[in-house]
Amino acid sequence: MSLKLFELVGTDPARPFSPFCWRTRMALAHKGLSAESIPWRFTEKQAIAPHGSEKVPVLLDRDKPVVDSWAIANYLEDTYPDRPSLFGGEGGRAMARMLNWWGDLAIVGGIFPLIIADIPKNLAAVDAKYFRRTREARFGKPLEEIMASRDTGVVAFRKSLDVLRFTLKAQPWLGGAQPNYADYIVFGGFQWARVVSPFRLLETDDPVYAWRERLLDAFDGMARTSPGFAV
Amino acid sequence: MSLKLFELVGTDPARPFSPFCWRTRMALAHKGLSAESIPWRFTEKQAIAPHGSEKVPVLLDRDKPVVDSWAIANYLEDTYPDRPSLFGGEGGRAMARMLNWWGDLAIVGGIFPLIIADIPKNLAAVDAKYFRRTREARFGKPLEEIMASRDTGVVAFRKSLDVLRFTLKAQPWLGGAQPNYADYIVFGGFQWARVVSPFRLLETDDPVYAWRERLLDAFDGMARTSPGFAV
């Protein structure tokens, strides 16, 4: 096998930060696969256009492109069925579809306003300009203004994690006795924040914090040793 | 087999309305099992105390009590493994634990303020009094005051269903190609509302509405033919 993964980075090519790319990184590790990382920046649209995408992650399995983190997870599950399962069966695959939306809306969507003005600090000028222009258009205000209320916003964000928190009181991982793609979906968002922002999302006595710590340690500390802030 | 199910009712013993009991009703039907219904009212604590519970559903499998809808779903899956699966494998079972919390917090918790003052209309005086006293203590205000803003509250509730809505655009059921317990978890909340309140929770052009319609039709229209409002 020969796998390559386009991953979003900023000024440091060894510091991938996209929450969606981190889902894929963890999924690859879960399957015991390694992929050559191809650093990709926001304004490098032409590098992935030939593969049919405007966004990352894009996985190349030899010459075959697979686009979008959810599609990649399904591709890995179907292509490498003899390796540890990402979904734990077809019921898990179906339910992970909904958890993937929850990860997008509640986790990535919930964290974004809390770290948004920190992100350009990690980017080269051309990418920072692109990021600011597109995101300010989406939110309808300056990044700094979006983030100004984060000290109160984080309280609501923490409360929104009850679904996750209560689950983790009943079982060690979202995937059950062992982590699986359900865990990586949610973890991707936390790792994104950890890489780009010093802002503290979680209290240390939160079961979600302990779960995140365990995922930082997974796969020989792959996520923890990737450059980031100690939050 | 001899199954009995304690189900929450009000003045009409043939009108069960608990969202949690409806999860169990749908799960039993999915397994092709039937249970004798034992109508139970809020103030009949002594009827279920011997079975180790203060709340319903309580399932009796001969003399063995199983308490709590989640525990019942797991019991049915483990006890009747040759019948259609509720979870579609161990990954599904684990992820359903989180969806169960989402159902409790986002669906039951989201619907509650929208229908709360309609509920006592379905109850005998002694139960209505109990319901009002305990729920007003929980919310810290009169039921009517909680529900007064439901015309704006329902807009936020509908928005909160995006996780569900987007999933249903990609697959027909939360369980995938066929419904499973993930669907019943969420449906239970909608059926609860349908039985006790004429308030319209969903727009008719919402994919969630179409999905609810299909679950109302499931199992020979079991949920649709159970008395309720046409919403």
ipTM of the complex: 0.96
Q: What is the pLDDT of residue B230?
A: 79
Residues 52-111 of A with CB under 8 A from B: 85, 87-99, 101-102, 105-106
Q: What is the pLDDT of residue A88?
A: 98
What number does CATH give the domain B90-225? 1.20.1050.10
Cβ within 8 Å, pair A92-B97: no
* Mean pLDDT of the region B106-125: 98
Q: Cα separation of B187 and B9, whole Å?
A: 18
Structure tokens at A50: 């030939």
Q: How confident is the model over A173-219, as pLDDT tens digits?
A: 999 999 999 999 999 999 999 999 999 999 999 999 999 999 999 99
Q: How far is A17 from chain B (nearest CA, A)?
A: 24
Whether the per-residue pLDDT at B158 is higher than 80: the answer is yes
Q: How confident is the model at residue A59 (pLDDT cuts 50, 70, 90)?
A: very high
Interface mutation target, options A74, A97, A98, A181, chain B, most CBs of B under 10 Å: A98
**Amino acid type, A185:** I
Q: What is the 3 state secondary structure string of chain B? A: CCEEEEEECCCCCCCCCCHHHHHHHHHHHHCCCCCEEEEECCCCHHHHHHHCCCCCCEEEECCEEEECHHHHHHHHHHHCCCCCCCCCCHHHHHHHHHHHHHHHHHHHHHHHHHHCCCHHHHCCHHHHHHHHHHHHHHHCCCHHHHHCCHHHHHHHHHHHCHHHHHHHHHCCECCECCCCHHHHHHHHHHHHHHHHCCCCCCCCCCHHHHHHHHHHHHHHHHHHHCCCCCC
What does the domain layout of chain B look like in residue ranges? 3-79, 90-225
Cβ within 8 Å, pair A93-B176: yes
Indicate the class that CATH gives domain A3-79. Answer: alpha beta
Interface mutation target, options B30, B74, B85, B95, chain A, most CBs of A under 10 Å: B95
